[in-house]
Amino acid sequence: MEQTMRRQEQLPGAFNGAITNSQHGRVRWYLVHTPNGKERETCEKVRRIIPHELMQDAFVMQKEFWFKRDGAWSLQTKTM
């Protein structure tokens, strides 16, 4: 409990523990810019820092694309 309180004191703006209603009950999205290759590490860090009651999920955005190799098509994913 004390650790959560200390974390909330360190969080900026909307994450400081104040519960606010988002516009029309919609979920708010926040984009975090990360260095190349550090996306998953940053995602895990956000999950550890932000209390679970303030955040639904953190994830790395990925896109899917079709790739053809040796005449065979496969669905690939790539970090955005």
Q: What is the structure's pLDDT at 30?
A: 85
pLDDT greater at residue 23 or residue 43: 43
Q: Is the pLDDT of residue 55 over 80?
A: yes
pTM of the model: 0.55
Q: Residue 31 — very low, low, confident or very high, per pLDDT cuts 50/70/90?
A: confident
Element (H, E) at 65: strand 62-69
From residue 16, give the alpha-carbon distance in Å to each of 9, 11, 13, 49, 66. Answer: 6, 5, 6, 12, 42
Which of these, 52, 49, 79, 78, lies nearest to 65 by C-alpha position?
A: 78
What average pLDDT does the chain have? 79
